[in-house]
Amino acid sequence: MIQFFFENIDSIEITAQTSEWLEKLVIAENKKLGKINYIFVTDEGLLKVNQDFLNHDYYTDIITFDYVKGKTISADIFVSLPRISENALEHSKDFESELRRVLAHGLLHLCGYKDKTEDEQNEMTGKEDLYLNLF
């Protein structure tokens, strides 16, 4: 089950097509869908999560709390909507496609993909592109 929540920020429309696409991503990665909560917040809200839980003092677009058990994917995924808007402008993308990229990115982490090294980043970007093209 994939659910979307908005904390201290105006809500945006998340279509059924987006939910179905995210579910297909999990299945395509040979995983089982558990409970995924996307929590949309402000930049300041995500900074506080980063500080309180990860001891990091910087802004980011997404933080994933992994509750994966075996092949069952479950998590709380915090997403900064203002950061998505900023990233979209910076990369000359529209908001919706940047949002989908970030939503997929969080799920790909849960499927085992990393992005710390250049090779890992290239693999992650390739997977993001693959799934974005399937939307």
91 in a known ligand binding site? no
- pLDDT tens digits for range 48-63: 999 999 999 999 999 9
* Mean pLDDT calculated for residue range 4-29: 96
CB atoms within 10 A of CB 40: 24
56 in a known ligand binding site? no
- Whole-model pTM: value is 0.93
Q: How far is CA 124 from CA 22, 57, 112, in A?
A: 16, 24, 10
Positive or negative torsion for Cα 14, 45, 64, 129: positive
Q: At what angle do helices 16-28 and 118-133 cross, to 10 degrees?
A: 130
Amino acid 111: pLDDT: 96
**What gap in Å lies between CA 115 and CA 22, rounded to an integer?**
20
Q: What is the CA radius of gyration of the chain?
A: 14
Q: Percent of the chain scored above 70 by pLDDT?
A: 100
- Mean pLDDT (the chain, rounded): 96
Amino acid 109: pLDDT: 96
109 in a known ligand binding site? yes
Cα maximum dimension of the chain: 38
Amino acid 131: pLDDT: 96
Look up the domain containing 62 and give its range: 2-133
Amino acid 119: pLDDT: 97
- pLDDT tens digits for range 91-112: 999 999 999 999 999 999 999 9
Amino acid 67: pLDDT: 97
Q: Residue 126 is part of a domain; what is its CATH number?
A: 3.40.390.30
- Structural domains in the chain (count): 1
Q: At what angle do helices 81-90 and 43-54 cross, to 10 degrees?
A: 110
